[in-house]
Amino acid sequence: MNAEQAWQAALGQLQMDMPKAAFDTWVRDAELVSYEDGVFTIGVKNAYARDWLADRLALTVQRILASILDRTIEVRFIVWQQPLENNPPIEQGPVAQASGTNGSSGNHNRLNQRYTFSNFVVGPSNRLAHAACMAVAESPAQAYNPLFLYGGVGLGKTHLLHAIGNHCTQQGLTVLYVSSEEFTNDLINAIRRHTTQAFREKYRRIDVLLIDDIQFIAGKESTQEEFFHTFNTLHGQDKQIVMTSDRPPKAMVTLEERLRSRFEWGLTADIQPPDFETRLAILRYKAERAGYQLPDGTLELIARQVNSNIRELEGALTRVVAFANLRGMPAAPNLAEIALADLLPRRTKVEPEQIIQAVADSFGITVERMLSRERSRRVAVPRQIAMYLLREEANLSLPQIGEMLGGRDHTTVMYGCDKVADLMERDSRMRRQVLNLREQLYGEARLAI
């Protein structure tokens, strides 16, 4: 295992051990600068992050790296900006949430050069959003303006935002990427320092404005007022605006109606949790770029077990690799199951009757109606979902499932199971319904969709 692989394994362990907010704030953007004679030099973007990591995390990082490499390790943190021309192997697109951290508004230091369209893994769950972003990048303010992307955490919104910015920058356009929090802070500082004119010039003399996590301006009256005028100015000058959020505009209850309507002027595109094939493609891409040698069975196991978001998928992959390296064993599926044992939901035995009742309750029908001979779509779909869950979660045979669901033939059950399995890969609504039912059955919180 080389130094870069050891550092990536350590990051995976830290991601599992630390609260998400702390990891994203302090650790995610840290990079290995050099390794020599047992000394890891880790680069971070500012002195504040360097001091925080040195004071609170240095010993933990040293311990993790020492256990991975089986030798004494020293860790040093430095402030370091990666040269723009040095473009290293990239993390899979939908994994990381990136944002500029220094105060300059220039193109390059506000955009993460690693996030491009070429390393974004496309699947049914994100195809519309990816195509829309490509269209916007190719023809800013001509295709969809504004473009509004929404979806859960770790699904690739920020990657697409940076990809648009990087593409437009290459075309010679002036691009500004900020989070809504940065926009708010800039506005507060401008008011405090009486520099509102400079603030407006910064945000209005550009070709492309990229705003991440726009939902956080909801409820902030002054911020909404200023953004309203910024939006109107840019849109009126045929400048491109792209925003991301964790929810659609209609769901922002404290957002002013005039802003909500403007957010919906262009195209609103959602990004759903990826299906199995996309998760598997992401894992293969990530493993290939990082130089990991994993059998298909291990990648398939990870893809099946981790299905909520891509960030967790990447963390699971890194953990399996680190676990295998620590034990000096190949990353076989059985080893992966052990490595991920404490990350996966604690699944207790589910009784078949629980499954049938949960499905009936979810669709608002009675169990008796689901077991009847009624063949309307309102009853047939939940019945087929029950067949699928009885097969997957209760491990019943086809004849047993048929018997439990009103004495149906095993071929009918087989057709129902296959149909649901197929729809889960193609229909995001069906996938969400089944995932939510699984979470209910195992006592976990419902997935945030």
- In this predicted structure, the answer to whether residue 443 has a pLDDT above a threshold of 60 is no
CATH 1.10.8.60 fits 276-341, yes or no: yes
What average pLDDT is seen over the chain? Answer: 82
Spell out the residues 6+ positions from residue 80 whose beta carbon is closer than 8 angstroms to its own. Answer: 31, 33, 43, 44, 45
Beta carbons within 10 angstroms of residue 430's beta carbon: 20
Tell me which amino acid residue 57 is.
L
- pLDDT, residue 209, reads 92
Number of residues that this document lists for the chain: 449
- pLDDT, residue 138, reads 92
Residue, of 90 and 196, whose pLDDT is higher: 196
Instruction: Please give the Cα distance from 416 to 341 (Å, whole number).
Output: 31
- pLDDT, residue 1, reads 64
Tokens of 316: 């699971």
Contact by Cβ (8 Å): 3, 32 = yes
Instruction: Please give the Cα distance from 218 to 222 (Å, whole number).
Output: 10
- In this predicted structure, the answer to whether residue 131 has a pLDDT above a threshold of 70 is yes
- Confidence tier at 7 by pLDDT (50, 70, 90): confident
Residue, of 10 and 110, whose pLDDT is higher: 10
- pLDDT, residue 425, reads 65
State the maximum Cα–Cα separation within the chain, in Å, rounded to a whole number: 77
Tokens of 387: 């067949």
- In this predicted structure, the answer to whether residue 133 has a pLDDT above a threshold of 60 is yes
Helix (H) / strand (E) element for 241: namely strand 240-245
Q: Which residue has the tokens 């953990």?
A: 319
- pLDDT, residue 338, reads 79
Instruction: Please give the Cα distance from 432 to 71 (Å, whole number).
Output: 46
**Strands, E, within 16-87: which ranges?**
31-36, 39-44, 74-79
Superfamily of domain 117-270: P-loop containing nucleotide triphosphate hydrolases (3.40.50.300)
Tell me which amino acid residue 111 is.
L
Percentage of residues in the chain having pLDDT higher than 90: 21
Instruction: Please give the Cα distance from 432 to 5 (Å, whole number).
Output: 35
Instruction: Please give the Cα distance from 103 to 186 (Å, whole number).
Output: 10
Please give the average per-residue pLDDT across 314-327, as a whole number: 81
- pLDDT, residue 40, reads 92
- In this predicted structure, the answer to whether residue 448 has a pLDDT above a threshold of 50 is no
- pLDDT, residue 379, reads 92
pLDDT digits (tens, 9 = 90+) for 33-91: 888 888 999 998 888 788 888 888 888 898 888 878 778 888 999 987 654 333 333 33
Residue 27: burial class (beta carbons within 10 Å; 0-12, 13-18, 19+): buried
Residue, of 414 and 25, whose pLDDT is higher: 414
Superfamily of domain 3-79: DnaA, N-terminal domain (3.30.300.180)
For the chain, the structural domain boundaries read 3-79, 117-270, 276-341, 352-445
Tell me which amino acid residue 196 is.
T
Question: CA–CA distance from 107 to each of 150, 177, 186, 260, 445 (Å)?
Answer: 24, 8, 17, 28, 41
Residue, of 2 and 249, whose pLDDT is higher: 249
Sign of CA pseudo-dihedral 250, 116, 95, 39: negative
**174-188, 330-344, 400-414: least confident range:** 330-344
Tokens of 24: 């994203």
Contact by Cβ (8 Å): 298, 283 = no
pLDDT digits (tens, 9 = 90+) for 236-277: 999 999 999 988 888 887 788 888 888 888 899 988 888 888
- In this predicted structure, the answer to whether residue 197 has a pLDDT above a threshold of 70 is yes
pLDDT digits (tens, 9 = 90+) for 270-297: 888 888 888 888 888 888 877 788 888 8
Closest CA to 160 of 201, 202, 225, 112: 112
- pLDDT, residue 89, reads 36
Instruction: Please give the Cα distance from 125 to 222 (Å, whole number).
Output: 36
- In this predicted structure, the answer to whether residue 132 has a pLDDT above a threshold of 70 is yes
Spell out the residues 6+ positions from residue 13 whose beta carbon is closer than 8 angstroms to its own. Answer: 64, 318, 319, 322
Q: Options 2.60.120.1140, 1.10.150.130, 1.10.1750.10, 1.10.530.10; which CATH number does 352-445 get?
A: 1.10.1750.10
- In this predicted structure, the answer to whether residue 367 has a pLDDT above a threshold of 80 is yes
Percentage of residues in the chain having pLDDT higher than 70: 89
- Confidence tier at 348 by pLDDT (50, 70, 90): low
Relative orientation angle of helices 377-392 and 352-363, to the nearest 10 degrees? 150
